Amino acid sequence: MTSFPTSIGTSDASTIRLLGQDLAADLMGHVGFGELAFWLVAQRRPTPSEVRVFEAVLVALADHGFTPTAIAARLTYLSAPESLQGALAAGLLGGGSRFLGVTEDCGRFLADTLAAVDGPLPTDDAGFDDLARDAVSVARSARRLVPGLGHPVHKTEDPRTPVLIRIAEEEKLRGPHLRLFEAIGRVHPEVLGRTLPLNGAGVCGAALADLGLPVDLLRGFALLARAAGLLGHLAEERRTPIGMDVYLTVDRNATYTTPDPS
Amino acid sequence: MTSFPTSIGTSDASTIRLLGQDLAADLMGHVGFGELAFWLVAQRRPTPSEVRVFEAVLVALADHGFTPTAIAARLTYLSAPESLQGALAAGLLGGGSRFLGVTEDCGRFLADTLAAVDGPLPTDDAGFDDLARDAVSVARSARRLVPGLGHPVHKTEDPRTPVLIRIAEEEKLRGPHLRLFEAIGRVHPEVLGRTLPLNGAGVCGAALADLGLPVDLLRGFALLARAAGLLGHLAEERRTPIGMDVYLTVDRNATYTTPDPS
Amino acid sequence: MTSFPTSIGTSDASTIRLLGQDLAADLMGHVGFGELAFWLVAQRRPTPSEVRVFEAVLVALADHGFTPTAIAARLTYLSAPESLQGALAAGLLGGGSRFLGVTEDCGRFLADTLAAVDGPLPTDDAGFDDLARDAVSVARSARRLVPGLGHPVHKTEDPRTPVLIRIAEEEKLRGPHLRLFEAIGRVHPEVLGRTLPLNGAGVCGAALADLGLPVDLLRGFALLARAAGLLGHLAEERRTPIGMDVYLTVDRNATYTTPDPS
Amino acid sequence: MTSFPTSIGTSDASTIRLLGQDLAADLMGHVGFGELAFWLVAQRRPTPSEVRVFEAVLVALADHGFTPTAIAARLTYLSAPESLQGALAAGLLGGGSRFLGVTEDCGRFLADTLAAVDGPLPTDDAGFDDLARDAVSVARSARRLVPGLGHPVHKTEDPRTPVLIRIAEEEKLRGPHLRLFEAIGRVHPEVLGRTLPLNGAGVCGAALADLGLPVDLLRGFALLARAAGLLGHLAEERRTPIGMDVYLTVDRNATYTTPDPS
């Protein structure tokens, strides 16, 4: 018979074990929710410093007002108010390449750049600047965007970026991913010919990568953070709904055009 | 032109505001993730005591091993590994009436019972026992289950229940919903003729209701907690997959039966 | 070892069987898609007359322009264009009680009314009128809406209703559910004191119930129909997108309000 | 004010228009469901020959027994039976790169190969063989798989492939995509050194591309087809459930392993 291995959780008649701990005796009341989320993915308990940086990332990513995902969740709640899980899921399904993907893309770009270094990593800013200059040049030659650069609203500086770097520094967790990201901020104008801000989604990816979290799953933390923001939107939709007005605004301003055969 | 009111978030070129706060200056590094989730839904900052009870609930609900929802998320990740958001959403879609709904159902049952009290609420256990006796009797007459009673695995005691009650007591947040729930635990054997444990999902609903959170959204907190557990499962599926074995176990043990017209 | 019975499909190295048929030899090229969908759910092959009524229902329900579900699907596609399945799923998740549920609710209301008849069903309009009068009166006394009555846009007549009844009549499939629904259309003014149209979603539920399809799954046919409509919207979103304009319309007309603690 | 153009649908008090037609008068009872789905995406009415090929594709892709997506849908229905739309959405979310993506990948591979041809397309098999030989060689050099080749169960021949080619031939719709796909079937052994079958998902992608449908949306037709199959599974789950047995089989055969920190 096939067996199904897991190191997450088990339970029997009197005990629930999670991550090798007794859930009721050792975790409830002793472990924060962000701390547990880190632990569940990394399979190790984070230090208090790691928790502070990690929760600062989740807080930074939780909400951005009326994003397409928040609007989609509210419209779904309007149509199917009996299924809160459906509205939340609809909102999370927008957590793809364009609106939530930057965190993961940036973490991966930094990790790939660092992994390609032959020999030891740089120890000073000049060394990270050289690395950044090469990485941005290569991306430019390949006509690829550098993830984490630029923002449609925060055109000069994204206020989250310096704050997260400072928190990581305070907690001695400003590692090579963040340092390379900062170096990209310094050197990209000379390569690209214009100055762009380091955005908040990107700095979050750099910080998560410095925490040792798997780069392939960074989008997952953005989704977890956004789940809290979406709950806030759904709670507000319940109190002061906008979904019907969104629908009517679109429907009443629809203009019919002749079909255009593909 | 229609306007769309919100008190969640806004941003301009230099500032991101969330819940009336400056996200970068006032929230990142200062507010925990669970604390923010509470704030987003309740539109008020919880006290440290409320945060402790709230996070204990989220920790209690985060995972239960190989639940149907965890298996569904892993199978979806197997089929579409490029879309982590799809696998997470698939897992959350199982957060309905049967497997995650008890928290909300129990909170609502308790809140409805308390709301129907004519005059002041009881102040001692005897008063809550009377209330519980009536509520269980009414449910029984209507052949409805009392939500929060019974568990398929923890047949005598769910280990989460006494721990959450103790934490709420320590934080002076053991209010009427929890007290009524405990009363149901004491009196139901005389009404139903058998003794069932107060389950963990139910006590979480009671605790959330005592925190003043809206009863219609309690399922949302169970979903947020489960999002963390599902990320843990998806991280594990990436390291040591079981999805293919689940699929093959079902497919190889399929037996073909003759169609049975409806 | 547990075995998993199914009468849907099996395959081996050289053959794929579906519903007891050879998929390649007997179904492909011989069976229409709507016909197969009926067969899959009902586990019996529909007659050509049943297929015509069934496909008329699917065509009637496929699209309604810029519904909340269509807008949600387009916004999700905007955010995560790499995951067409996510955008489609987000659109279907709005297929709940309010916007797609009428078909199922109406079918169930009619089926429950017919099931409660003591003795043989009526054979003439007068008999169905009596039945309808009672059912509408009971609903009114319980302050419940009669599903299938009224429409926000088609205030006098929903153009789908007489056409579907005619098609069912042509195919000799105008059974007791449709006849009771028509009777509700005749008698409700005298009970409710105002005249409402029989809507298209409702007549579809009546027709599906007359086809012998399980009432608990009628919503599923509305979802299948809507899946085609949503594909149309996503194809159009790819050619001439509106998602970004919807997002910007909402975001730019957002007004910030002070948090209102729950 | 922003306007939102669409050529799909509009309605007023007395008429519903879809694709420039009167829904009730011109479409219901006159147009099949598969025909309408084609029309919605392509924005032109397909010919009867095109409908026959298109519906043969949908029939071919509708179901494959206990796939991971069917199991995920059933587990979600077990957990949240009140939300049929959630179970259907969960099943469709597995329609990604691995289990449903071959149709789109194959269509795109063929379309890209044809688009890169300098001058007129081949008119005889020898010409398509040359084209196929080059395309397979290039894929091999880049260590990329050729989509549409090979099947885990149908190791010699997928029974759907010759049937769909025959149907397309009968309807005079065996165009360059199908002819190139057949050529790949002829020449790949000499390039790859082993003989693989042309699979059913691949031939469906080729046939859809020959129908002129947009290659970026081919996955959408696989999803539509699968929606019908999933409804069949959910109807069966309602009659003769297996979800609980799947869950228990996994949960009871779980083996706990020590956490392995990332």
Testing the interface with B: which of C12, C38, C256 to mutate, by most B Cβ within 10 A?
C256
Average pLDDT of chain D, as a whole number: 95
Distance CA A131, CA A86 (A): 45
CB contact (8 A) between residue D231 and residue C84? no
Buried b (16+ CB within 10 A) or exposed e, D64-100: bbbbbbbbbbbbbbbbbbebbbbbbbbbbbbbbbebb
Distance CA B108, CA B213 (A): 11
What mean pLDDT comes out for the span D116-130? Answer: 96
| Domain boundaries along the sequence of chain C | 31-97+217-240, 102-214
Contacts of A235 in chain C (CB under 8 A): 262
Closest CB to B89: pick one of A43, A92, A242.
Answer: A92
Contacts of C7 in chain B (CB under 8 A): 256-260
Confidence of residue A205 (pLDDT cuts 50, 70, 90): very high
Which tokens hold the place of D122? 């081949």
User: What's the average pLDDT block by block, 10 residues per block, for chain C (262 residues)?
Assistant: 90 90 97 98 97 98 94 97 96 87 95 96 97 97 94 92 98 98 98 96 98 96 97 97 96 88 65
Handedness of CA D92, C39, C147, D22 (dihedral sign): positive
Give residue C260's pLDDT.
72
Confidence of residue B87 (pLDDT cuts 50, 70, 90): very high
Distance CA D25, CA B235 (A): 54
Distance CA C252, CA D162 (A): 55
The C-alpha of A130 sits at a distance from chain B's nearest C-alpha, in angstroms, of 30
What mean pLDDT comes out for the span D101-112? Answer: 95
The C-alpha of A125 sits at a distance from chain C's nearest C-alpha, in angstroms, of 36
What mean pLDDT comes out for the span A65-84? Answer: 95
Testing the interface with C: which of B17, B39, B255, B260 to mutate, by most C Cβ within 10 A?
B255
Measured from the Cβ of residue B252, the count of other Cβ atoms closer than 10 Å reads 12
With a cut of 90, say whether residue D10 has pLDDT above it: no
What mean pLDDT comes out for the span A36-55? Answer: 97
Which tokens hold the place of A126? 């000049």
Residue in chain A lying closest to C243 (CA): A68
Contacts of D83 in chain A (CB under 8 A): 80, 82-83, 85-86
Distance CA C189, CA C243 (A): 42
- The 10s digit of each residue's pLDDT in A129-182 is 999 999 999 999 999 999 999 998 899 999 999 999 999 999 999 999 999 999
Residue C255: which H helix or E strand, with range? strand C254-256
With a cut of 70, say whether residue B160 has pLDDT above it: yes
Contacts of C5 in chain B (CB under 8 A): 254-257
CB contact (8 A) between residue A33 and residue B58? yes
Pair A162, A197: CB distance under 8 Å: no
With a cut of 90, say whether residue A115 has pLDDT above it: yes
Closest CB to C8: pick one of D167, D236, D246.
Answer: D236
Testing the interface with D: which of B93, B105, B231 to mutate, by most D Cβ within 10 A?
B93
Distance CA B224, CA B63 (A): 11
Give residue B244's pLDDT.
96
Interface of C with B (CB under 8 A): 1-7, 10, 17, 19-20, 41-44, 80, 82-83, 85-86, 89, 93, 212-214, 250, 253-262
Measured from the Cβ of residue D148, the count of other Cβ atoms closer than 10 Å reads 29
User: Which chains border C (3 or more CB–CB pairs < 8 Å)?
Assistant: A, B, D
Residue in chain D lying closest to C41 (CA): D232
- The 10s digit of each residue's pLDDT in B7-64 is 998 888 889 999 999 999 999 999 999 999 999 999 999 999 999 999 999 999 999 8
Distance CA C123, CA C151 (A): 29
What mean pLDDT comes out for the span B71-85? Answer: 96
Testing the interface with C: which of D1, D7, D8 to mutate, by most C Cβ within 10 A?
D8
pTM for the predicted model, two decimal places: 0.96
Compute the half-sphere exposure of residue A196: CA atoms within 13 Å on the CB side of its CA.
20
Distance CA C70, CA C91 (A): 6
With a cut of 90, say whether residue D12 has pLDDT above it: no
| B102-216 is a CATH 1.10.230.10 domain | yes
Average pLDDT of chain B, as a whole number: 95
Contacts of D234 in chain C (CB under 8 A): 217, 220
Give residue C101's pLDDT.
87
Distance CA B256, CA B262 (A): 17
Pair B176, B183: CB distance under 8 Å: no
The C-alpha of C69 sits at a distance from chain D's nearest C-alpha, in angstroms, of 12
Confidence of residue D152 (pLDDT cuts 50, 70, 90): confident
Interface of B with C (CB under 8 A): 1-7, 10, 17, 19-20, 41-44, 80, 82-83, 85-86, 89, 93, 212-214, 250, 253-262
Confidence of residue D262 (pLDDT cuts 50, 70, 90): low
Distance CA B166, CA A25 (A): 11
Distance CA A186, CA A151 (A): 17
With a cut of 90, say whether residue D99 has pLDDT above it: no
CB contact (8 A) between residue B8 and residue A164? no
- Lowest model confidence (mean pLDDT) among A208-222, C201-215, D4-18: D4-18
Give residue B262's pLDDT.
59
Testing the interface with D: which of B75, B84, B102 to mutate, by most D Cβ within 10 A?
B75
Residue in chain B lying closest to C214 (CA): B262
Closest CB to C20: pick one of B10, B41, B258.
Answer: B258
Testing the interface with C: which of D33, D69, D75 to mutate, by most C Cβ within 10 A?
D33
Give residue B164's pLDDT.
98
Closest CB to D253: pick one of A4, A256, A260.
Answer: A4
What mean pLDDT comes out for the span D235-260? Answer: 93
CB contact (8 A) between residue A78 and residue C65? no
Closest CB to B94: pick one of D67, D69, D80.
Answer: D80
Contacts of B73 in chain A (CB under 8 A): none
User: Which chains border D (3 or more CB–CB pairs < 8 Å)?
Assistant: A, B, C
Contacts of B5 in chain A (CB under 8 A): 240, 242
Enter the DSSP assignment of A30: T
User: Which chains border B (3 or more CB–CB pairs < 8 Å)?
Assistant: A, C, D
Instruction: Classify C102-214 by CATH class.
Output: mainly alpha
Distance CA A87, CA A92 (A): 9
Contacts of C6 in chain D (CB under 8 A): 65-66, 236, 242
CB contact (8 A) between residue C20 and residue B259? yes
The C-alpha of C1 sits at a distance from chain A's nearest C-alpha, in angstroms, of 8
Give residue A138's pLDDT.
96
Closest CB to A90: pick one of C76, C81, C249.
Answer: C76
Distance CA D37, CA D45 (A): 10
The C-alpha of C127 sits at a distance from chain D's nearest C-alpha, in angstroms, of 29
Give residue B60's pLDDT.
97
